[in-house]
Structure 1
């Protein structure tokens, strides 16, 4: 399918659109003086509300807009501003009600349509968001903010080329807008265009001081087989030099420094849901002793599912911080008197590295969630790992002190809806199906070349790849073309788009052997393959990101599936494929082996976790500096 044609329309410079051109750029102090002077003027209260929004004080903006509404009930745009204030302060139901009320007064109100779209987008309802945005675009076809939001909705619907075209247009027209460059880089990275993606992130970095594009650049480096470990470590450490807060406030000191008292643990993440974070920590936290620790959860995501409910059941405090800026989040953690704060985002979605560099807690620990390497954030004291993820000698690459747990660094929580394991597909197909359901960004030409060599050694074998970008015809064509250049016919390559989680798991019933990608390995996907009886073969990569599968397989007592070279990789796969009777036996037993291993033992992991937390707390109480800790 050809790319949609690029519009030549010129878009207005993005920014806060003014209500009927009547809102001036006043400071809060100036706007307050105006309301004191003319308290019965609705526009004066609007000026004050907008002044608060400009400095990200959305909660403070609510009352001025309410005063304005009371003075001028029928003014649609004032209701839209009130909706914006509610949204920015996390009052999503009130924001939705105000925006919908705005549309009863003025169905063309673009601000209200945008707010409804953003609320839907935040709840992963991209199709609904797109409908609101298409209406807004009808009324203001050249509004850059609408088009930017539309690109994000299209991205959420896996319509990558359409999103890419909009963002390319916006970056051409506003070449100094860091947000457009950053979003374009994200789309390009999803499509495996790593060089173009890095260039877009560098452009974004050039035109602003937001740390997000640099965090995206760091993540992208881990997918690139051309990057050396030293290159990646250097760019991680560069984050601190560029964005770390200089001379932050001293860390808070708890009133009670008893080494054995109950600890208040804070955790922030985008993934308190069906997500690698949710799947890999919930069983551990549920198994901790309530007299040992209590949990404060800070979610950078507003969506909710069955796993979210499990987290909320554990919570002494639950707060959505999506719309809190870094300074406000830093203050929130301090006000909550957190003893140990866990970063469960790293440089990935929901990143709060800037806030972390403000040192908001006595101790700060990195754990699952964007855990692919050192963060380079010097305020983080410890990083939870194991002996496989960080072998001896790796400490020099980390700014954090490593806590090596005795088993895996995570504990896998299997879903309640586990599909039945079907018979080995090779028996009825009469050929071997190799599968990889990892994020397709992890694929690269070097990896596919190795897989093609393997497929030549397994005549008539098939390669089954499944993931979001396979909805893109151009992305699929790149895969087909590359494999054909390696003399693998496209009929032997099955590319399939995403599915809901239960369907995804059931798709493993069409796979005989899972191939782990390189240099960025699988994590949750490897656990799910094993759960469905499919052995996964892995060659560890050079960083933490490349050793997830190795850790999971070794800790599930499947060390023979971890290899040290591409020759050995192919040998192991061919060995499995050459004996379908043995492969069938493995398939029928693998789930039980996994579930009975330390990988799935929440109580055992919680015991190690509590010992580790008590150890670092005791060091803190004794005024000892953080130090690497190893538990056997």
Structure 2
């Protein structure tokens, strides 16, 4: 009898056991078979898969190595070894296994996709783009490939090319996460109207949440007889910009009147997560449950006001709000546009971020904080403000520490105009993208197109937060990008004594910088036209005495302004919550 026939039945039984999650029984059966046929690569391969399903990576790797040697023309053992090394965080080794698999099977789309994702983890963006492009040539209609390449291109500053691939991924009925990623990317485009972006968000809400069952609400006790229950839902309860603006409220809310429930979808917790747990009255972890489970938990807690802190940055959480688990639902803090959900009742903003006439762009009714929708709590480790750098260097250093995605061609063109208008000045760009040689080279080329030579650009890698704040000691004037203006970066620049020049637009996200500057009474740094932006920056750069004065006085001004008044901010926010439940 053919020996391959002898092993077929045990492997089929093992596969059935694995389908029933009886992994130990499957492993025993396969080990017994290996005693009979010790050089059977197929059995080794199946045994490796059984161990991999149990996350026993060492045993899985051992048997995939055996299968690889016994079946040199089979790409799967190399592919699975690549997957194992990704799990172990050994990305360079995993890439080599993926390459080995592709040598055996050059059209293996799944392997190309895994290789591309791993290259992204290594920040080898140029090679990752090539891997996605090769895979798309083989399988042009596979949405996950189009989405992966779209996301990567946008992260590399290629917004228009990225959006082309997003549209291709969305040609069929889109998955909500893919659709959400598209919406998020649209906020970066400088040539899209507020009404168009609003319409796309409404489309998302209709497509993905309108059909969801909504719940009726009742509370065992009337609001007047108990504390008001506020539920905060977020995937950002860790060291994240959201927490810098959330903590002033958590530190100062009136515990005699309000009860805070935090619904955390955080996967990787840190010391900030642990601190937030002590500040809230109740902590619920929903990262390990499905949407129905999260909805049931919120309903059981009888929350009065449920607040979304993530928006389209975490669309799974928006799907929770689509079920209407609380009678009043509010969007605040973590997103900079409408949620698009008819089930979202309110959005918290301020008069400077959303001036009169902007309500038409929101599915929510706008609730206005009197000063700003943010309250900034500076970190204790922030260094002291130093003297104006230009007094030592002899030249002005402009700076921007914002996300690389915000530096579109129109931003680069305007900054090049400014650099050309102020000879000898330099521009310091510091962000995660500058870790990658390909993106640094691309950045230099983008500025070169507008006549800015490489010696006028200072490109720096990202740093731990204390070091990032310290880097402002080398910046004289901060430049706000557009239309996606800075949030936390603007607060931090101002705290470090660095004036920020911003271009205010018509959308909430394009007015964040203007809102910060208005609340600290620095409206003279707000431009409404590009020519004005250059004029403001040049005026600041041309008066070193005044610039040095701003540097030494800004921190005290911010500290004494509503932007850092956590107690008043908490009172104002409580008043909003009380108003919508009365």
Is TM more than 0.5 here?
yes
SS at match of 1:268: strand
Q: Which of the residues 300, 305, 320 maps onto 2:265?
A: 300
**More displaced 10-residue stretch of structure 1: 323-332 or 270-279:** 323-332
Q: Which of the residues 312, 319, 322 maps onto 1:354?
A: 319
Partner of 2:449: 485
CA distance in 2, matches of 1:503, 1:43: 53
CA distance in 1, matches of 2:564, 2:58: 46
SS at match of 2:325: coil
Q: Structure 1 residues 487 and 139 mapped into 2: Cα distance closer, same or farther (>3 Å)?
A: closer
Answer with 1 or 2: which has the greater Rg.
Answer: 2
Q: Which of the residues 68, 76, 98 maps onto 1:137?
A: 98
RMSD: 3.0
Q: Structure 1 residues 416 and 102 mapped into 2: Cα distance closer, same or farther (>3 Å)?
A: farther
User: How far did 1:546 drift?
Assistant: 0.6
8 Å CA contact retained: 1:539, 1:565: yes
CA distance in 1, matches of 2:123, 2:450: 28
Partner of 2:72: none
User: How far did 1:281 drift?
Assistant: 0.7
Give deviations 1:103-156, integer Å, cap 9, x for gaps: 5776678768747735x7xxxxxxx25257347537755665565344334324
The 5 A counterparts of 1:339-418 are: 339-349=304-314, 351-369=316-334, 371-418=335-382
Give deviations 1:223-265, integer Å, cap 9, x for gaps: 1111112221221211123222415132443332324522333
8 Å CA contact retained: 2:92, 2:122: no
Partner of 1:189: 154
The 5 A counterparts of 1:549-568 are: 549-568=513-532
Q: What is the TM-score when the length of structure 1 is the normalising length?
A: 0.79
CA distance in 2, matches of 1:526, 1:21: 65
SS at match of 1:520: coil
The answer to whether the aligner puts 1:428 opposite 2:392 as a matched pair is yes
**More displaced 10-residue stretch of structure 1: 437-446 or 329-338:** 329-338
8 Å CA contact retained: 1:177, 1:207: no
Give deviations 1:425-445, integer Å, cap 9, x for gaps: 111111111111111211122
Partner of 2:235: 270
Q: Which of the residues 77, 86, 106 maps onto 1:117?
A: 86
User: How far did 1:186 drift?
Assistant: 1.0
SS at match of 1:347: helix
CA distance in 1, matches of 2:329, 2:31: 48
CA distance in 2, matches of 1:475, 1:593: 37
Partner of 2:558: 594
8 Å CA contact retained: 1:411, 1:601: yes
Aligned residues: 546
Give deviations 1:579-626, integer Å, cap 9, x for gaps: 2122112112212222222111221111111221122222xxxxxxxx
CA distance in 1, matches of 2:29, 2:227: 51
Partner of 1:168: 133
CA distance in 2, matches of 1:134, 1:169: 16
Q: Structure 1 residues 419 and 210 mapped into 2: Cα distance closer, same or farther (>3 Å)?
A: same
User: How far did 1:544 drift?
Assistant: 0.8
Partner of 1:627: none
SS at match of 1:495: strand
User: How far did 1:22 drift?
Assistant: 8.6
8 Å CA contact retained: 1:269, 1:350: no
User: How far did 1:500 drift?
Assistant: 1.7
SS at match of 1:298: strand
The answer to whether the aligner puts 1:443 opposite 2:412 as a matched pair is no
8 Å CA contact retained: 2:351, 2:368: yes
User: How far did 1:396 drift?
Assistant: 1.3
SS at match of 1:543: coil
8 Å CA contact retained: 2:206, 2:341: no
SS at match of 1:352: helix
Partner of 1:48: 20
CA distance in 2, matches of 1:489, 1:262: 61
CA distance in 1, matches of 2:557, 2:53: 57
Gaps of 5+ in 2: 1-7, 33-46, 67-76
The answer to whether the aligner puts 1:253 opposite 2:210 as a matched pair is no
Gaps of 5+ in 1: 1-19, 25-40, 50-63, 84-97, 121-127, 619-632
Partner of 2:113: 148
8 Å CA contact retained: 1:343, 1:367: yes
Partner of 1:93: none
Partner of 1:221: 186
**More displaced 10-residue stretch of structure 1: 414-423 or 320-329:** 320-329
SS at match of 2:263: strand
The 5 A counterparts of 1:520-559 are: 520-559=484-523
